[in-house]
Amino acid sequence: MDCMTKREVTEKEREIWEALTGDDFSPIYEEADRIRQREKGDEVFIRAIIEFSNCCRRRCRYCGINADQRQVRRYRMSSGEILETAKQAIDAGYRTIVLQSGEDERFTGNGGEELAKTVRSIKEYDEDVAVTLSCGELPYDTYRNLREAGADRYLLRHETADAELYEKLHPCGTLEERLRCLRDIKALGYETGSGFMTGLPGADAVTTAKDLLLLKELECDMAGIGPFIAHPDTELAGAENGSAEMTKRAVAFARLLLPEANLPVTTALGVLSPREREKAFSCGANVIMKKVTPDRYKKDYDIYPADLQRTDIKRDRRKIEEMLEEIGRIPV
Ligand code: 5AD
């Protein structure tokens, strides 16, 4: 209860906090699974993610590719390479391409001209493929230009709903500005994805309750919820990782609050344990993302430590399809 005395905690936050920290969470897992089944059926969307640049101007303390990390070998894929990778993913059966990067002006400067070209070229190759962008905070006009170029969705996690903690972890921004971006994205008609990390140093279950209520307030269409994983080259090296259990509980709660949302099982959860990642599909999740980033870049997109396998776009997708079929779900 200690944490409850230090800050203002609303009735709703207390309710969620109590549920999140309760002994028996199984009724909520079951409820989340029922809602997922009712709203989304048994289909699981597999999305291809291309990490096209690890250049980043921001200094998020938890992130292994933040601008202060001198040891990182920085790369940018050329537009040709991005398109080639996207084509391979589409040919392997992916219906959504996620383009993710650090905050890299080379792509998003000048009204997002360079990135917009890539979005258009993917849409020219297959107009029915959805393009999701995840490239950080941008001015309204840039978000608008990218939307006009054909981008369908935008992912920008709010990271933590605790404004003070947000500012400690992000010397380069404020929660207020983050939320401005999310509201712009929503207003422009993107399917809007937010999300957060569980177990950040300085966060607790009250923070998670606030995070969940913020997802609801934003009326997100998607929410990525993953555990914090300490990166050994950052100043948070040695800090405790987020827990798989709290992450699954948060995903289940997100399903209750946002019945129709697309909720991925996150890669970070898989880093803690591949088994936990599979289990998250019975806690309300209905999406999985797979890296299709070419091998020569993949290891340098090192936001948190992960055990990376060689990329074989077709085979990797088939393996996920098989895993989903084994747990009784329908890969899409
Ligand atoms: N552990 C877990 N997640 C991280 N992210 C960045 N660094 C870490 C880390 N050390 C997440 C952030 C970001 C997303 C792309 O990756 O939530 O939005």
Q: Can you give the pLDDT of all 332 residues of the chain as single tens digits?
A: 445 556 788 999 999 999 999 999 999 999 999 999 999 999 999 999 999 999 999 999 999 999 999 999 999 999 999 999 999 999 999 999 999 999 999 999 999 999 999 999 999 999 999 999 999 999 999 999 999 999 999 999 999 999 999 999 999 899 999 999 999 999 999 999 999 999 999 999 999 999 999 999 999 999 999 999 999 999 999 999 999 999 999 999 999 999 999 999 999 999 998 888 889 999 999 999 999 999 999 999 999 999 889 999 999 999 999 999 999 999 99
At the second CATH level, the architecture of 9-331 is Alpha-Beta Barrel (3.20)
Return the structure tokens found at 266: 């996150």
- DSSP assignment of 148-211: HTT--EEE---B-S-HHHHHHH-TT--HHHHHHHHHHHHHTT-EEEEEEEES-TT--HHHHHHH
Check: CB of residue 222 under 8 Å from CB of residue 258.
no
Looking at ligand 1, which atom is closest to the CA of residue 196? 17
- Are 35 and 284 contacting, i.e. CB atoms less than 8 angstroms apart? yes
What single-letter DSSP state applies at residue 93?
T
Ligand 1 centroid from CA 126, angstroms: 30
pTM: 0.96
Instruction: Give the pairing of strands 330-331 and 153-155.
Output: unpaired
Chain center to CA of 120: 23
Domain ranges of the chain: 9-331
- Dist. CA 162–CA 271, nearest whole Å: 25
Task: Write out the DSSP string of 280-300.
Answer: GGGTT--EEEEE---HHHHTT
Residue of minimum CA distance from atom 18 in ligand 1: 157
Q: Which residue minimizes the CA distance to atom 6 of ligand 1?
A: 63
CA of 286 to the centre of ligand 1 (A): 20
Q: How far is CA 81 from the centre of its chain?
A: 23
- In the reported structure, the alpha carbon of residue 99 is separated from the centroid of ligand 1 by a whole-number distance in angstroms of 16
